């Protein structure tokens, strides 16, 4: 493919920035006039060929959408407003400029859905596989961020949608819950979430993150967990398989949160406890819910 500079020109020509962004890609760094009184939230998320997507199977637009949506989902997890993003692409030499354009178009379109422009980045070709990294900047914009720490004994545990089986395709096509997170977070206590995370690693693992940061435990009510039809398909003949996948599969990208009052949305699936440990209540039986989520080491 042509040199990286042509690609940077193309990217610049596609960018429409303004507002707080006073200088976008094309210099050594972008310049942002950060709004006074807004906290800056920032994170980075990568997608790797063979781990988070399969370049032989998924289109470049879909891959681009996924990496941006994962970052937008991180914004949702903290109830902040996506403000701007930077992209870094390691492109295999065999991939064409057209491929890179499609990848970038996917990234850009996913960002535009939430008013999040690309303000910088870098594309390099190499003999390695396709890796795409997005850095996202979010604004508190009038809403105090919701952290993982903050859950208290007695809080309900909630999820924003049915879970499990995202491997059937939803892991590439999900919609990040940015607007829903802002709606949940702008409620007054006790109806405002006390802790929140997006479900990238699965309930069993992501709830463990909340409990560890908050210094609490939890009991999940098996009958209350909303199981996605996709989760039922994986091993329909096996009893409890749907629930298992709903609790342990990753990449649902729904929100998992705790709340002492009545949240404006969400399905209650359990209760936070002062006693440490995470348990699954199945009728009269209570079992330890071992973290079984995915550690991003196997392809999904």
List interacting residues with its own copies (CB under 8 A): 3-5, 22-23, 26-34, 36, 38-46, 48-51, 74-75, 77-78, 80, 84, 86-88, 90, 119-122, 124-129, 131, 133, 135-138, 145, 147-149, 197-198, 213, 295-297
Only one residue has tokens 């802790």, namely 195
Say whether 133 sits in a helix, a strand or coil: strand
Burial class for 123, CB neighbours closer than 10 Å (0-12, 13-18, 19+):
buried
Nearer to its own copies, 126 or 240 (CB): 126
Contacts from 225-229 at CB under 8 Å and sequence distance 24+?
225/159, 225/163, 225/269, 226/159, 226/161, 226/162, 226/163, 226/267, 226/269, 227/162, 227/163, 227/164, 228/161, 228/162, 228/163, 228/164, 228/165, 228/166, 228/170, 228/252, 229/162, 229/165
Nearer to its own copies, 26 or 240 (CB): 26
What's the min distance (Å) between Cβ of 90 and its own copies? Answer: 5
Only one residue has tokens 């996709």, namely 230
What's the min distance (Å) between Cβ of 135 and its own copies? Answer: 4
Q: How far is CA 2 from the centre of its chain?
A: 33
What's the min distance (Å) between Cβ of 254 and its own copies? Answer: 14
Task: Choose among 87, 110, 117, 111: nearest CA to 4.
Answer: 87
Bridge partners, 196 (sequence order): 257
What's the min distance (Å) between Cβ of 28 and its own copies? Answer: 4
Nearer to its own copies, 127 or 238 (CB): 127
Which of 239-262 are b and which e, b meaning 16 or more Cβ less than 10 Å from the residue's Cβ?
eebbbbbbbbbbbbbbbbbbbbee
Task: Choose among 193, 88, 200: nearest CA to 147.
Answer: 193
What's the min distance (Å) between Cβ of 132 and its own copies? Answer: 10
Nearer to its own copies, 106 or 242 (CB): 106
Residue 124, token pair as written in the block? 């390099």
What's the min distance (Å) between Cβ of 177 and its own copies? Answer: 12
Nearer to its own copies, 273 or 294 (CB): 294
What's the min distance (Å) between Cβ of 46 and its own copies? Answer: 5
Say which DSSP state 193 is in. Answer: -
């Amino acid at each position: 493919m042509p040199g990286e500079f042509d690609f940077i020109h193309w990217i610049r020509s596609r960018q429409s920035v303004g507002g707080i962004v006073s200088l976008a890609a094309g210099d050594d760094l972008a310049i942002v006039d950060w709004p006074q009184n807004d906290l800056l939230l920032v994170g980075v998320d990568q997608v790797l060929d063979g781990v988070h997507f399969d370049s032989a199977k998924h289109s470049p637009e879909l891959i681009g959408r996924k990496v941006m949506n994962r970052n937008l989902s991180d914004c949702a997890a903290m109830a902040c407003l996506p403000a701007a993003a930077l992209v870094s692409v390691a492109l295999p030499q065999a991939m064409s400029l057209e491929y890179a354009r499609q990848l970038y178009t996917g990234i850009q379109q996913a960002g535009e859905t939430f008013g999040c422009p690309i303000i910088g980045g870098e594309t390099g070709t190499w003999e390695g596989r396709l890796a795409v990294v997005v850095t996202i900047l979010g604004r508190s914009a009038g809403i105090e961020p919701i952290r993982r720490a903050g859950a208290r004994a007695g809080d309900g545990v909630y999820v924003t949608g049915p879970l499990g089986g995202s491997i059937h395709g939803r892991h590439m096509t999900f919609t990040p819950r940015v607007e829903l997170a802002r709606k949940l977070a702008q409620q007054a206590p006790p109806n405002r979430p006390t802790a929140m995370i997006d479900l990238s690693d699965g309930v069993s693992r992501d709830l463990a993150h909340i409990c560890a940061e908050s210094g609490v435990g939890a009991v999940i009510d098996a009958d209350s967990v909303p199981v996605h039809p996709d989760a039922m398909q994986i091993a329909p003949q096996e009893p409890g398989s749907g629930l298992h996948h709903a609790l342990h599969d990753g990449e649902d990208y729904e929100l998992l949160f705790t709340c002492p009052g009545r949240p404006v949305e969400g399905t209650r699936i359990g209760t936070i406890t002062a006693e440490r440990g995470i348990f699954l209540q199945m009728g009269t039986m209570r079992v330890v819910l071992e973290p079984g989520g995915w550690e991003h080491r196997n392809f999904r």
